Amino acid sequence: MRKGCFHGIIFFLFTAITGFAQQPVFRTFSFKEGLNTYGIFKTQQDIYGFIWIATQDGMYRFNGNSFEGLKESNVPGYSLAGNFFLDFCLSPENQIFAADFNKGVDIINPSNLGVKKLNFKTVNGNTGQLPNLWLQKVYIDKYKTLWLGANNFLAYKRHDEPNYTILNNLPGYTGNINVIFIKPLVDDLIAVGIGGYGILLFNARTLEMKKMVLKPGLADTHFNLEIKDIYLDKDTLFAISNHEIIKGVFKNSQWQYITGHSFKQFNSLVVNCLVRDQKKNFWIGTNSGLISLDIYSDKYDLYRVNISKKRWIQDNTINHLMIDRENNLWISTSKVLQMIPLAENGLRYFSGDDNKSDHMDHIFSIIPKNETELFTTGTDGLYLTNLNSGLTKKIQGSSSLGLIHYLEKVNNDFWIVSSDRGMFGYTASNSKLSQKLLLSLHPEWAPYKTNFFNASYIVGNTSYWASEEQEGLIKWNIQKHTIEQFKAGTRRSGGLPENHLHNIKADNEGFLWLLSDNTLAKFDTQIDSVVEIIKDIRKDTSNDPGFFFDMYDDRERYWFGSYGGGLNSYNKKNKTWSRITEKDGLCNNSIYGILPENDSILWVSTNRGISRINYFTKLSSNYYYEDGLQDNSFDEKGSLKVGKKLYFGGINGFTEIDIDKIKNTSSAFPVYIYKLEYYGNGKKKNINKLYWDKLSFPSGTNTIVIHMAALTYSRNHKIKFSYTLEGLQSDYIDIGDDNSFTLNALSYGNYKVLIRYRNENGTYEENTLQLNLTIFSKWYQTLLFKLLLFLISAGFIYAFYRYRIAQIKKQHKIRKNIATDLHDDLGSTLNSVKVFTNLAISGVKQEESLQQIKDNLTEATMSLRDMIWVLDDSLDTVDELITRLKQFAIPVAAASNIEACITAASDVNSRQLIKEEKRNLFLICKEAINNSVKYSDASQIDVTITASGKKIQIVVADNGKGFNADEIKKGYGLKNIQYRAGQIKYKVALASSPDKGTQIIILPS
């Protein structure tokens, strides 16, 4: 390219280009989007795909959906030294070296956000390692040499060297050392730009320094061309100043100048940065806006702040430019961070937001005027748009008509305009717009001059108009100047089921379809009558279709767009319906316009974007405002196909889709789980990682929040995540736009989380991410504790079982003893009764025998009562024992003129006795009392019961003649007493002496 070819094209800097190309769509990230600061100084993409941003209030990491800020804090391991960062770079180990102004360098691990501080020492300003810490530039090369540009010096140091080499003056140069950039070149060369001086070249291996002479003829020592930035493309270097771009190549580490392109038109602009995109176009950041430059076609544009334009540059002071791996341009400015997707996507919007066009508020219909111009009707007028220049102008006088519903071409110069104020005529040649004009040429419209119609369809010399005023269908014969009306409920109904018509569309057989609120009517223009009516196409109750807005015939099926019911398909052969909705990936269920791309692809406009649908696979690719649509909201009748271009209108204008430029494939991008938050026991903790092994959480963790990132910055808004818990959920659950979800009410145990995402073309990338989570149990939830609890419970049950068996055995023994007693006592007594009865009957000692019978029966009755008392559960207390002893002892003693006294201490009356204890104690006392009555010659018998630990002690004492306990033989009675006491773990002590009575003491053994 010849030298100086940029001259004379300043016109392109300040005016629109002649060939209207795809506009740059500026996406803005600031406070509203979570970047909570002004002063954006630099952006760079790390190896994982995240965008890092250096600001005046910390370092930020951006994942396409949300920002994470790193600042000076009190969090150990995550706190930066300061918050004011002018520059940062990626090290060979993929760490981020961030230069804080006046605080030093922080080293950030981008995979887990861990922070280490690089320590510096400064003594008295200049005798330490660095003169000061006013750091402005930082770079670390592949030899781990750290380069620092600061206030009035350049410093560099190998990682294993103790001190920095300080460069604070240059030969023949008296100015301050102001480092503008530090960038790598080919062959281990490092370029350092010095303001007012030029470029220093360093050999990164040897650290040898020399000055780089960019342009022949310039003095080596007084190089006044101030280079603001450089860009290296393989071995070709471009260097830019405020006045010129210099191009050259490196060969064998030697710089060879090729050409210089001067542009005096930039004299008033201060250049700050330079970058080149994949199409070899340059982007130049200045203090007065952004320049797009094509050095091969000699065209460039200046983008400056324009408050009338949306999605436009928001700040003219540009500090840094960066192009990421998806070919997105990132613009760091003093106020905001912005991004432009540079990849062409076939979308182009028209909204009239530039300072030469009229703004379009809400477009309803799009009608072609000629090959390069389109009419559009809207809420506040009729517009004409030039597709080449992008210029939109409102037709004079149309704003007074209110909402313009429709426009129909009668001939090349005359058009009929339908508006809220009625029907009007418009001549394009002289821009006349009036109702009088219409009625002068077509007086047949007089009866309908105050009506409005929202759509029409021309068949030969006849046009049919649809009414939304409950007026049905109007048939206008243009040549015969006649109008005929078809209206439901009248004699001339034409078979119309409804009079509120949204649209008229034709199928491939020439029939018209009248789209209404509740019905679809097929109209035959040969007989002017409806020949088929479809009233109900509902497939479910969740999204009932209604208010039908558009129709398309693909020869096999009809497609109907409905409000709320998605895209409905009617098969002509089998008369069956099918539906494509949001569940299939459609961006919204309210369908306004349907346009075909080919035999399998349909485009539909909706209430939330535009969908490109493959109706065989039901896969949808969705497009939104962020992709370059004029807005996400569209409207009925606002669709038009011209050749291979589609047009859809709605809020804020209309959008053009170039079918040939639409990309149908999706490129790969990184997807991560980048953060977990978990809550338990009243505390919240974060884990920042990109690669996850099995995770364990402490006991009490009940909530885990999982954050995902799809690192595609031009398509992030199209990526939709969903998740499931393996073994616990059968379906995937969709995740909201914040790309995070919460697992609540978690218990201890293991969980496997599977995460997938729906790509921009509607396909699912299955099991893209997964997490294995373990929540530890509390001590009382552990298996060991449960086993111990089981064993203890089993022990208790077994002990209780053994106790019950013992009790049963005791009961059985008591019953056995009672049976024995019954057999021995009652049996022998009754046998005696029998003997004495026989004697009485025979007359032998009859009186004596009868007395003996009486005594035996009395004894048997008493024994039987004793046994019944023993078996009665309600009488198992000491108090009842005393009562029973009194019932026995007092009569027996009284018969022998002996006084019996039975007492108990007050604290033992209510004590419980087991049956065997109760029985044996009673029998022992009974035996002792009997012995006293029979042998003691006593006048007093005392039975005293007191407490002895948990049991009782019984003393049976008499005041009889006594005996010498050492000399007397133990008879059967005493042995029996001792035997019975031993059975219930008691013992018997005998105390007696002549003339001093006898004591039998029964006490626990």
Query: Is 247 within 8 Å of 258 (Cβ atoms)?
Result: yes
Collapse the DSSP code of 947 into the 3-class scheme (helix H, G, I; strand E, B; otherwise coil) and give the result: strand
Q: How far is CA 937 from CA 887, 964, 967, in A?
A: 21, 15, 19
Residue 41: count of CB within 10 angstroms of its CB:
21
Collapse the DSSP code of 149 into the 3-class scheme (helix H, G, I; strand E, B; otherwise coil) and give the result: strand
**What predicted TM-score, i.e. pTM, was given to this entire model?**
0.78
pLDDT per residue as tens digits for the range 122-173: 545 443 478 888 999 999 999 999 999 998 999 999 988 888 999 988 887 8
CA dihedral 313, 316, 321, 324 (to 10 degrees): -10
Q: Residue 415 has which token pair?
A: 């058009």
**Residues in the chain with pLDDT < 50?**
1-20, 123, 125-128, 220-223
pLDDT per residue as tens digits for the range 437-484: 999 999 999 999 999 999 999 999 999 999 989 999 999 999 999 999
Pairwise CA distance, residues 803 & 822, whole Å: 28
Confidence (pLDDT) at 542:
56
Collapse the DSSP code of 902 into the 3-class scheme (helix H, G, I; strand E, B; otherwise coil) and give the result: strand
CA dihedral 953, 956, 957, 961 (to 10 degrees): -140
Q: Which residues pair with 58 in a beta bridge?
A: 55
Residue 210: count of CB within 10 angstroms of its CB:
11
Per-position DSSP letters for 612-681, written without gaps between them: EEETTTTEEEEE-GGGT-S-S-EEEEEEEEETTEEEEEEBTEEEEEEGGG---S-----EEEEEEEEEET
Which is nearest to 903 in space by CA: 930, 932, 929, 881? 881
Pairwise CA distance, residues 49 & 359, whole Å: 38
Q: What are phi and psi of 213, to 5 degrees?
A: -90, 105
Confidence (pLDDT) at 192:
96
- Give the rounded percent of residues in the chain with a pLDDT score beyond 70: 89
| Maximal CA-CA distance, the chain | 172
Confidence (pLDDT) at 13:
29
CA dihedral 708, 713, 714, 718 (to 10 degrees): 10
Pairwise CA distance, residues 925 & 882, whole Å: 10
Confidence (pLDDT) at 386:
95
Per-position DSSP letters for 167-217, written without gaps between them: E--BTTB-S--BEEEEEE-STTEEEEEETTTEEEEEETTT--EEEE--STT
